[in-house]
Structure 1
Amino acid sequence: MTFVRFLGGLKTIGGNIVEISQGNSRIITDFGLTQQSSQADVKTLLAKHDLPAVPELFLPQINKEEYVHQAIFISHLHLDHTAALEYLKKNIPVYMSRASYELYQQLVKSGLATNLKLDFQVFDPEVPVKIGNLTVTGFASDHDIVGISSLLISDGKHNFAHSGDIRLFGDHYDEVEKWTKKFNSLHLDLFLLEGTSFSFPDDKAGQLEQLQPEVNREVECGQRFALALKSLTAVPVVNLYPRNIERLVRFQKLALANQRPIVWEPAFARLLKHYLPAETIFTQTAGITGTTVVTWKQINAAPQEYAVQNSFTNLKQLVKLNKFAYLHADGGPLGDYDPDYLQLKAFLVGQNATFQRIGTSGHASKRELVKVAEMVRAQKTVIWHSFEPQLAEAALEANGLVTFLPELNHKYLFK
């Protein structure tokens, strides 16, 4: 008998965690939090339901021997899928794709992530990993982070799959097409599909009709940046998310091609140097091998010759620029729901700086999510990672799909 228990993420964006167990074997995926907590006491976090209801994975005094074979599998390295790892016991194996682990190591070396010192293991795409009675296979996918994987968990009789965060309009649509065909052939018992886009009103009237994989919105994002580089007389200041390596690389190359290189913060420069070892990286601080230092004075003297990368934590550094235009490319803060976003906008007004959004989402639109569910056509589809899962369920059911809205912490039996 196999049990499935949902430990989080049923009506939130992020923090979606599921436990699949059979006998003495258990798989958990993912392991994030819905929000970062300043509270370090595990018992308090468990009592507040900030951490999933698996105290044996956090508290050293609980030595539960029920599961001889167990592991946590991470679909990707966004914090809403990994933040609970900070509180995990050190002896629990944590699996992620090889590309995700490479990114994690470089983030740590660059000072952009904490070294958790856990028992990290890697998996390669489409290579099964055996954990006792259960088998997990990762499939490369498309999201706004390298190493993203969809995960297939099997007990030999039943098949369950976790989409991970997903989109159909990035650089890797072919990977999504591959795993959806595989999942379709298996007639999945349960397909766990993220439903982020159903949490928000549509930004554009035509958004629901965006179903063309040949329209690569990451390329369009780069085109908007290139246009800004060509047209702005003020210094373009770009706000990027460090874990979106492919976008960092794309912007770096576009800036050089347009003869207006980006001057990177030191941590970003170190990270980029790993992924572009042969390329000249411009940075604000000396001491990083293979980089060229550009000072604020040099930038002000020739504002049409440089762009600047800036993180919100270093926002006040921008007072050193005589004139700049702010290009938001999905680094934090992301929107009005974050108090820091209001602080950002107020700062820009005070500096007489223009503001432009040039980024693109890492999540599929509503119609695209319906398409993914149709491509997989599981026996039952669970929508999670959404504030409004019932809206997604209605859309799926209108297209002849069977949905299932589980209860938190309830164990569902598959005989």
Structure 2
Amino acid sequence: MRMNQSHQLEERITFYGGLTTIGGVHILYSCGDTGIVFDLGMARGFFKNEVSVCSDFGIRSFLLTRMAPPVLGLYDPALLGDVGEAELTQVWDIDRLPHVNNLHGFVSHIHQDHMALLPSLRAGLPVWMHRDAYAVYEAVVAAGEYEGTQADIRLIEDGQVVDFGTFRIEFIEVDHDSPGVTGFIIHGPQHRIAFTADWRRHGRNSYRMDRFIERCQSVGVELLITEGTRMRPDTLFRKPKDRLEVEVAVECRRAMEDTEGLVYVNILARNVERVADLIVRTQEAGRQLVMDESTAVLWREASSRLTVLAGHQALDVDQDVIRLLSTPQWAKGPHPIKEVDLPYESITLNEITANKSAYAVYLTYPHTPLIAELETFGSRTAASIYVHADGNPLTPSDETLLKWLTEFGVQYRYCATGGHAAPQEITELTTRISPKVVVPLHSLHPSMFNSGGISKYCPAPGESFELSELVGKQIRS
């Protein structure tokens, strides 16, 4: 009976976000009366730096600028106010909005462009994410970077299969520069869809991508959706050479050994595994790592919960290596920092400048002005070094940062490695999986993707398909 019914169920996929931008992927898959939206983040788009809003009614602005998917069942009605179907159909230039009775959400990992909508979701909405990803989210909230969520978070493990009734999802952990990053395969009544999430080959767990490929091959994936962040004219014919993830903290230690001055380190705190490596390398260099309160809370809260850090050396040494610097009032974020019993000894700016060779300062971008005091006071006989390892700003050419470093004679070392695959690696993944159609997104240049002869399709915002229609397309690659 169920088999006969399954052939009558329409599998539909609608593409909203992340199609010609890096991040902000918003896709709705539905089958019968059940659907899932993936992911739940935002690209920068209309909001950056001083032009920003919080989730308290900010979701209205996100929806009206097409930075959030127009699926009203996702959001807290109290935050929507009078924004409804009439306004959103006008904004998206479509006839009607999708309506799914049994709606779910999915968050592949805790980077802003994949999770920023979490505080705006309605109470009780089922949202699936890896338990390590959720541990990072709880830490980010504790650190005051984001608000919590009213959604019903449902934790998943690598390899877990969840039955949604009309379809099943097989969750598969991949390798990226944040813990718990998860892609999946949707097993529908007639079709198989794979979503890679963000991934790379130069991380510490490249083998996960081979598992992902092999599983896609074995179930016969027909539609592959893959990120393409690094598809650019300059990478089209020449594969970039990537620094291995395990080398980043080693480069930080080398900087600490190369000078008797201060060393500043800028790492995105959500890359908790890299922070753990940094703590160990700082101890090896004979220094202590100075953290502000927000960063220390994020590290402490995440590291105490992450399964991926079980047995890591940093968990044994961090109390002795980390020193706590009180966050200046002007540098505090929009949300209160959770009161956490931190086991780290406090330190002042004067203590740091009195013995610069003894410390490395974990300096996040908003705290850049501290360089003025840290460089002006104390000995200046040895140059300080600033190691920029994928922390914000995500570019080596940020005018403001470079002006601060130049003003005070601080050496700049760009030590990024990033979390995204080279275009040639995406081609290889696609040809090995050999789907009927591949959709590249999470990219400024998706049309440049060399799909290796596999049919590819670049959807327009709001474009919707029955799965049989999309996988049956004969699309030029």
TM-score, structure 2 length as denominator?
A: 0.79
1:306 to 339, 343, 359: 359
- 1:284 aligns to 2:311 (yes or no): no
Distance 2:437 2:29 in 1: 16
Q: Which residue matches 2:148?
A: 115
Kindly provide the CA deviation profile for residues 329-363 of structure 1, in whole angstroms up to 9, marking residues without a partner as x: 111111278xxx31111122222212110121111
Q: Deviation at 1:157?
A: 2.5
On the 8 A contact 2:19/2:461 being kept in 1, the answer is: yes
Structure 2 SS opposite 1:360 = coil
* Bigger Cα displacement from structure 2, 405-414 vs 231-240: 405-414
Q: Which residue matches 2:33?
A: 24
Distance 1:42 1:294 in 2: 40
Q: Which residue matches 2:62?
A: 45
* Residue identity in the other structure for 1:284: L
On the 8 A contact 1:26/1:134 being kept in 2, the answer is: no
Structure 1 SS opposite 2:234 = coil
- 1:386 aligns to 2:443 (yes or no): yes
In structure 2, relative to structure 1, the CA distance for the partners of 1:65 and 1:381 (3 Å cut) is closer
* Residue identity in the other structure for 2:276: V
Q: Deviation at 1:66?
A: 4.5
Q: Deviation at 1:79?
A: 0.8
* Residue identity in the other structure for 2:447: Q
- 1:220 aligns to 2:247 (yes or no): yes
- 1:271 aligns to 2:278 (yes or no): no
1:233 to 257, 260, 264: 260
On the 8 A contact 2:260/2:357 being kept in 1, the answer is: yes
On the 8 A contact 1:53/1:409 being kept in 2, the answer is: no
Structure 2 SS opposite 1:196 = coil
**Length, aligned pairs only:** 402
On the 8 A contact 2:139/2:299 being kept in 1, the answer is: no
TM-score, structure 1 length as denominator?
A: 0.90
Distance 1:255 1:127 in 2: 37
Distance 2:165 2:282 in 1: 50
* Residue identity in the other structure for 1:85: L
Kindly provide the CA deviation profile for residues 284-320 of structure 1, in whole angstroms up to 9, marking residues without a partner as x: 2498532122332222222112111011111112222
In structure 2, relative to structure 1, the CA distance for the partners of 1:359 and 1:45 (3 Å cut) is closer
1:253 to 265, 276, 280: 280
* Residue identity in the other structure for 2:184: L
* 5+ residue gaps, structure 2: 1-9, 86-96, 304-313, 328-339, 469-477
- 1:362 aligns to 2:362 (yes or no): no
Distance 1:317 1:311 in 2: 10
Q: Deviation at 1:135?
A: 1.5
In structure 2, relative to structure 1, the CA distance for the partners of 1:270 and 1:411 (3 Å cut) is same
Matched-pair identity in %: 24
* Bigger Cα displacement from structure 2, 65-74 vs 118-127: 65-74
Distance 1:196 1:80 in 2: 12
Structure 2 SS opposite 1:147 = coil
On the 8 A contact 2:34/2:102 being kept in 1, the answer is: yes
Q: Deviation at 1:155?
A: 1.4
In structure 2, relative to structure 1, the CA distance for the partners of 1:171 and 1:200 (3 Å cut) is farther
Q: Which residue matches 2:6?
A: none
Report matched runs for 1:75-86 at 5 Å. 75-86=108-119
Q: Deviation at 1:85?
A: 2.8
Q: Which residue matches 1:294?
A: 347
Structure 1 SS opposite 2:368 = helix
Distance 1:66 1:372 in 2: 34
1:98 to 116, 131, 134: 131
On the 8 A contact 1:143/1:363 being kept in 2, the answer is: yes
Q: Deviation at 1:120?
A: 1.4
Report matched runs for 1:385-404 at 5 Å. 385-392=442-449, 395-396=450-451, 399-404=452-457
Distance 1:199 1:283 in 2: 41
Distance 2:20 2:464 in 1: 18
Distance 1:278 1:101 in 2: 23
Structure 2 SS opposite 1:234 = coil
Distance 1:112 1:241 in 2: 12
* Bigger Cα displacement from structure 2, 375-384 vs 165-174: 375-384
Q: Which residue matches 1:207?
A: 239
Structure 1 SS opposite 2:43 = coil
Distance 1:360 1:315 in 2: 22
* Residue identity in the other structure for 1:123: I
- 1:7 aligns to 2:64 (yes or no): no
In structure 2, relative to structure 1, the CA distance for the partners of 1:123 and 1:217 (3 Å cut) is same
Kindly provide the CA deviation profile for residues 239-275 of structure 1, in whole angstroms up to 9, marking residues without a partner as x: 1101100110011100101212211112222233342
Q: Which residue matches 1:183?
A: 216
Q: Which residue matches 1:131?
A: 164
In structure 2, relative to structure 1, the CA distance for the partners of 1:368 and 1:257 (3 Å cut) is same
In structure 2, relative to structure 1, the CA distance for the partners of 1:292 and 1:170 (3 Å cut) is same
Distance 2:233 2:117 in 1: 26
Q: Which residue matches 1:371?
A: 428
Distance 1:321 1:55 in 2: 49
Distance 2:293 2:341 in 1: 8
Distance 2:123 2:107 in 1: 16
Distance 1:43 1:258 in 2: 49
Q: Which residue matches 2:391?
A: 331
Structure 1 SS opposite 2:455 = coil
